[in-house]
């Protein structure tokens, strides 16, 4: 995707929580081109997007964001080692062990 800005303008983008910093400059014509979804999302807030693909990129970013959020939720779930039980907190998992699996060991 292409963006329009001042010619030779230096731009700094920082990713929150990671602390990664990216620098780039617009060319002599005031154009910068990238395919990186995070960079596109950040640049849309401050610079004009050039071309028809800007709407398509918005839809792709929304879909990817939803997929990532779902993966994070699944990764945070706690799973029982003895059965198929899954929950969100360690306390719920401990309660499950005490109520369901303590009977097996006794």
Domain boundaries, the chain: 1-51, 68-106
At 56, phi and psi to the nearest 5? -65, -40
Query: What's the pLDDT tens digit per position in 69-81?
Result: 666 666 678 888 8
Q: Give 65's pLDDT tier (boundaries 50, 70, 90).
A: low
- The pTM score is 0.44
Angle between helices 37-44 and 54-76 in degrees, nearest 10: 120
CA separation for the pair 60, 89 (Å, rounded): 32
Query: What's the pLDDT tens digit per position in 12-57?
Result: 887 766 667 788 888 888 888 888 888 888 888 888 888 755 455 5
Beta carbons of 31 and 4 less than 8 angstroms apart = yes
């Amino acid at each position: 995707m292409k963006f329009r800005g001042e010619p030779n303008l230096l731009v700094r983008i920082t990713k929150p929580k990671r602390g990664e910093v990216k620098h780039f400059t617009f060319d002599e014509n005031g154009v910068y081109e990238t395919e990186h979804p995070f960079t596109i999302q950040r640049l849309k807030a401050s610079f004009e997007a050039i071309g028809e693909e800007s709407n398509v990129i918005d839809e792709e970013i929304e879909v990817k964001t939803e997929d990532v959020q779902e993966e994070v939720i699944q990764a945070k779930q706690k799973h029982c080692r003895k059965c198929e039980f899954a929950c969100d907190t360690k306390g719920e998992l401990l309660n499950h062990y005490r109520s369901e699996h303590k009977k097996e060991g006794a």
